[in-house]
Every structure is written in C-alpha cells, then in structure tokens.
C-alpha cells in the first residue's frame, strides 16, 4: 500500500498535469471565453478541462454551421452545454437555433393538423367574418348540394391554414367526409419526383370530397404545374361539383398575374382559365391579421 507521502506526491503530480492541460486549453480563444462566461475558478476548470474542450469544439462547429444538414456535433442539432450547480459542472445537450426552429415548426404543424373549431380563438375581430362563414358552411353542409369552398387570402401567418384545417377536421370527424390538405409547392415537387404514383395521386386529388390547396401562388410557376396539374385537378372538381378550398398570400388578381408568368414567357389566357375555375369553385374572402407565427 502507498504511504501518505507517496499519495501526496501522486496527487501533486496529478494536479500539475491537470494544470498543464488547462493552461494548454486556455490558449484557445473559444475555450478561454467559455471559462470566462462560466466564471470558473482554476480549481474547478482543471477538473473538467476535457469535457469543456468537447463543448468548445462543438461551439466552433456551430459558429460556421449553416443548417442541420451539415451539423458535425455528436448529437444532431444540439450542443453539449455546461451548467454550474453547487460549484459542480453538469453537461447537457441543448438544441441549436436550427433545431429550435425545426421544433417550433413541428409543434406548429402538429397543432394545425389536429385543430378543431373549438381551438379557434374568437377574440380577433379580423377573423370573425371568416369564422361566421365557416360556421354557416358547417351547419348547411351537404355533399349532395353544390356548395362553394373558400379562397382565403391574406398576409403571412394570419392563421388561414389553421382555420380551414379546423373546419375540415370537424367535417371529417363528425360528418364522415373525406378530406385532403396539400401544401401546393411541395405537392408539385412530389408529383414530379415520383412518376409511378403520379396517376394515383392525381385521381385522389380530383375525387376526394374536400380538397384544400394550401399556399397556392408560393410555387415556382411552370406550364406543367399550372396546366397539367392544377388545371386538370380544378377542371375535374368544377365539372363534378367537388368542394375545393384555397389559401394564399395573394389576392385573386395577384395570383392571376403570378400564374401568367413562366420560364417560357407570359400566357394570360391560360392563367385566366385557372382563375375562372377558382372563382367558380369558391367564395373569395380576405384575412389580414397579426402574424401568429411571429
């Protein structure tokens, strides 16, 4: 067994080694800044030099990172962060700004996807006209009748998608209606990327009881997307009295102009044809309200 003198010598050698490691680590500006921010004493910092160096490395990764797709940290979208409790350091993984943004987006999407009429706040007077229209539509709803949907346009984040999703969820859950919500820019890309399912998806979009085309006007306009996809879906739904809803940041007039311009030039005739179908299918209402996503 070691005697007391040997143990003291061993501890002294260990402390000297820890001190050397800390001194070397302190040459790094990021590490130095971390120590200063945490207000660590030399004695405490010596004990955790290796773990603090791991945090420093991850902080450096974050400083040049442009998104989750190039995250180099051990835990995707997170950084190993120290926290001081009773003069001890505990390390935990905290989400980076990109992960936080993704978490917020997923939370919002989940809230929207599960929305019901009961979840709609009625203290925003700017939404009352829309809510009244929705209440009337719900009460009078009958698939055997030739009912018009809604073209709901307004500023970004005003709650357009949330309101209409709530209505569609109520109809689906309580009146046995088949519904489909497509984010139009993404739907176009999906159709383009998978030709094997193109026909099946188009058939579904044309025949579902109620279709919500979300954020029309946000897509990159092409003749194929406008005429072969959107035009085909709307023509079928108009001819067969299928209820169709739209949300957009653009007014009908602005959408017409947007749809007329493609990489191959300007075609006002085909754009007007799409707009006439939308007008035939919907009532046009505006929602200008606060940005709820902000």
Q: What is the DSSP letter of 67?
A: S
3-state secondary structure 9-59: HHHHHHHHHHHHHHHHHCCCHHHHHHHHHHCCCHHHHHHCHHHHHHHHHHH
Q: How would you label 269-279 residue by residue, b for 16+ Cβ within 10 Å and e otherwise?
A: ebbebbbebbe
**CATH architecture for residues 114-287:** 3-Layer(aba) Sandwich (3.40)
Q: Output the furthest CA–CA distance in the chain (Å, rounded).
A: 97
For residue 119, give the 3-state DSSP assignment.
helix
Give the pLDDT score at 8: 47
Contact predicate 215/183, CB 8 Å: yes
Q: Where are the domains of the chain?
A: 4-100, 114-287
Sign of CA dihedral 223, 257, 130, 122: positive
Instruction: Provide the 3-class DSSP secondary structure of residue 124.
Output: coil
The SS3 assignment for 201 reads helix
Q: How far is CA 52 from CA 28, 65, 71, 75, in A?
A: 12, 20, 19, 16
The torsion angles phi and psi of 89, rounded to 5 degrees, stand at: -105, 130
Q: What is the mean pLDDT of each run of 10 residues along the chain (294 residues)?
A: 53 77 90 90 88 93 92 92 85 90 76 79 84 94 92 86 93 93 92 92 96 92 92 96 96 94 84 96 88 56
According to the model, what pLDDT value does residue 258 have? 94
pTM recorded for the entire structure? 0.69
């Amino acid at each position: 067994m070691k005697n007391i003198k040997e143990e003291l010598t061993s501890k002294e050698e260990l402390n000297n080694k820890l001190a050397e490691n800390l001194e070397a680590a302190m040459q790094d500006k990021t590490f130095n800044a971390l120590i200063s921010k945490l207000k660590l004493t030399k004695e405490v910092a010596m004990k955790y030099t290796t773990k603090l160096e791991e945090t420093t490395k991850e902080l450096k990764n974050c400083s040049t990172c442009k998104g989750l797709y190039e995250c180099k940290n051990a835990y995707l979208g997170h950084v190993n962060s120290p926290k001081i409790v009773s003069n001890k350091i505990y390390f935990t993984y905290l989400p980076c700004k990109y992960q936080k943004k993704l978490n917020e987006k997923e939370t919002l999407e989940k809230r929207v996807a599960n929305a019901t009429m009961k979840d709609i706040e009625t203290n925003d007077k700017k939404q009352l006209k829309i809510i009244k229209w929705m209440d009337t539509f719900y009460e009078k709803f009958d698939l055997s009748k030739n009912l018009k949907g809604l073209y709901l346009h307004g500023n970004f984040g005003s709650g357009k998608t949330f309101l209409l999703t709530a209505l569609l969820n109520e109809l689906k859950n309580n009146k046995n209606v088949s519904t489909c919500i497509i984010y139009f820019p993404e739907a176009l890309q999906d159709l383009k990327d998978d030709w094997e399912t193109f026909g099946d998806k188009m058939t579904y979009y044309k025949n579902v009881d109620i279709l919500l085309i979300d954020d029309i006007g946000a897509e990159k306009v092409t003749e194929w997307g406008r005429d072969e996809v959107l035009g085909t879906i709307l023509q079928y739904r108009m001819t067969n009295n299928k209820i169709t809803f739209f949300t957009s940041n653009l007014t009908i007039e602005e959408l017409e102009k947007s749809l007329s311009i493609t990489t191959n030039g300007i075609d006002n005739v085909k754009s007007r044809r799409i707009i006439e179908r939308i007008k035939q299918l919907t009532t046009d209402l505006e929602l200008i309200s606060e940005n709820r996503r902000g």
